[in-house]
Amino acid sequence: MTPLIPHPPAETPAAPSNFIREIVLKDLDTKKYNGRVQTRFPPEPNGYLHIGHAKSICLNFGLAAEFGGKTNLRFDDTNPEKEEQEYVDSIIENVRWLGFDWKEPDGTERVFYASDYFDQLYAWAVQLIQSGKAFVCDLTAEEMRRYRGTLTEPGKESPYRNRSVEENLDLFERMRAGEFPDGARTLRAKVDMASPNLNMRDPVMYRILNAEHHRTGNKWSIYPMYDYAHGQSDSIERITHSICTLEFEDHRPLYDWFIEQLGIFHPRQIEFDRLNLTYTLLSKRKLLQLVQDNLVRGWDDPRMPTLSGIRRRGYTPEAIRNFCGAIGVSKTNGIIELGLLEHFVREDLNRRAPRMMAVLRPLRVVIDNYPEGDGSVDELDAVNNPEDASAGTRKVPFSRVLYIEQDDFREVPPKGYYRLSPGKEVRLRWGYLITCTDVVKDEQGNVVEIHCTYDPATRGGNAPDGRKVKSTIHWVSAAHAVDAEVRLYEPLFTKENPNDVPEGQEFTANLNPASLEVLTGCKLEPSLAAVQPFERVQFERLGYFCADPDSAPGKPVFNRTVALRDSWAKIEKREKGK
């Protein structure tokens, strides 16, 4: 087998050019953090990372790298009911696959967990109780919602707000000891029930949750809320710039309030727009529903927008990083066309993917005037990648019986059809010029075989007499073809906004029934017989494809990464115009 072209090493992330960078530059100029830049990527391990997380990963790691800083990978694992070690492992694998690392020069890794800080977070909660800034509340969740008020009406103070420090300390310790059932009590910050910012109306800091944690086991019966744990975890790690998406902008006053009340190191929280893509859902809760309801094959289904899914589909980390760098960051949430992401995938694969020939819907072709017998096989020279001269060439076998695509033949050609038809001549890629002479049909009238003649003087595809041929088609030698399964993908949803459904319906109503088409009996050139999982190729004239982990020796399975052109957008435009 001719080896496939290896992928080049991951490129250095491009420095983000955006308003966040300007803030960091100003802080460096004023020596706000003694010239340090330290960021963090803080996923909650309750699902797999998706393309939206890639934007945050590239931003945090790229920003620190530009200014000689560091980035921590920290798991905000404060909700044991939804978190699993599987998610931790997948997050680590996917951040590395995307091209980033978190090692110190001595080899130690800056991987942290909010659960590493549970003892310190508890001690700080006690400090806030002692200073009269936190109290134990017995209101139920429903009662708390009613007391909270609305955007136009102030909240009402809890009847438990003025408990003594001693009583609060006693109750909080008993909460930790597991004396009370789930939901019986909470610890709340004593801020301002009249604040126009609902997040400041005595938010919950701890809730009772008698659940086993994937790292701390059954040590804790109480767990901190994200708004309490996040800023203090940043402070412990001495993060300088805590970069969050825009939905946390209203939480920033609370982030600052906790840090100021405790008198600890104060990072700067900065918010940016989250990534939204057309035809794509980026809610972990809804992606989990797709997995649990078996509407997809798992988190790494190539139709999923998870990094595991798009990796399996054949997307490259370089393409994702280039895409994230191109869309930039802002303070306004918008939506990006899926076609832009696919553009960067095509652009990257065009440079790196070797060209191979594959016939997905085969039609048998017999070259009547080609010599018969085992010794009558040509080996033609084929270029691996015209975009990369160093990729070299390979030998492609040619024989009397070939396969071509069914779409490359029409018995009665429509106007403007230049491919093979009776009496017409076409060029076989890297091969010869052939002319159709006869057609064989089955009892139903379907074309099952065509007969042709070839011009032996046109080896390599060029006619010595200079005659012009308008069409070049790909092919595979039947005697050497490798049978394969090929999976063709379209967007998982039929609407640009998958959540756009009539009242009473779920987002699943917009699932695309044509999002996956599985083709069997596809014919590949022999160079692809021993393809390894995740190797990427271009099937000439068809698109970019990636070998799936389901592949077995002699039985390759390929996923279509992306077509050579955006056929989906054209179909949608045509359908809307009807």
Query: What global pTM score does this model have?
Result: 0.91
Q: Which one of the listed residues 55, 284, 400, 424 is annotated catalytic?
A: 284
The CATH number of the domain covering residues in 19-272 = 3.40.50.620
Q: Which one of the listed residues 32, 133, 215, 274 is annotated catalytic?
A: 274
Question: What percent of the chain clears pLDDT 90, i.e. is strictly above it?
Answer: 88
* DSSP secondary structure letter of residue 493: B
* Residue labelled with tokens 């921590």: 72
pLDDT score of 571 more than 90: no
- Lookup: tokens for 141: 């969740």
Residue 284 known to be catalytic: yes
User: Poorest-confidence range of 14-18, 49-53, 501-505?
Assistant: 14-18
Residues 158, 143: Cα–Cα separation, whole Å: 9
Residues 165, 130: Cα–Cα separation, whole Å: 6
- Phi, psi angle pair for 382, to nearest 5°: -130, 140
Written as one letter, the residue type at 469 is V
Question: What percent of the chain clears pLDDT 70, i.e. is strictly above it?
Answer: 94
> Residue by residue, what is the 3-state secondary structure of 405-453?
EHHHECCCCCCCCCCECECCEEEECCCCEEEEEEEEECCCCCEEEEEEE
Residues 269, 273: Cα–Cα separation, whole Å: 14
Which CATH architecture does the domain made up of 358-474 adopt? Beta Barrel (2.40)
Q: Which band of pLDDT confidence, cut at 50, 70 and 90, is reported for residue 176?
A: very high
Residues 385, 356: Cα–Cα separation, whole Å: 9
Q: Which one of the listed residues 21, 32, 44, 238 is annotated catalytic?
A: 44
Q: Which band of pLDDT confidence, cut at 50, 70 and 90, is reported for residue 14?
A: very low
pLDDT of residue 567: 52
How many CA atoms are closer than 13 Å to the CA of 38, on its beta-carbon side?
A: 19
Which sequence spans correspond to the domains of the chain? 19-272, 358-474
Between CA 414 and CA 426, with CA 420 as vertex, the angle to 5 degrees is 130
Give me the chain's average pLDDT, please.
Answer: 92
Residue 274 known to be catalytic: yes
Q: Which range is most confident: 242-256, 365-379, 461-475, 559-573? A: 242-256
Residues 539, 546: Cα–Cα separation, whole Å: 10
Q: Which band of pLDDT confidence, cut at 50, 70 and 90, is reported for residue 293?
A: very high
pLDDT single digits (tens) 111-159:
999 999 999 999 999 999 999 999 999 999 999 999 999 999 999 999 9
First to last CA, the chain: 49
Residues 105, 238: Cα–Cα separation, whole Å: 19
Q: If DSSP codes are grouped into helix, strand and coil, which group holds residue 394?
A: strand
Q: Residue 279 to residues 204, 228, 377: CA-CA distances in angstroms?
A: 36, 35, 48
pLDDT of residue 376: 59
Residue 44 known to be catalytic: yes
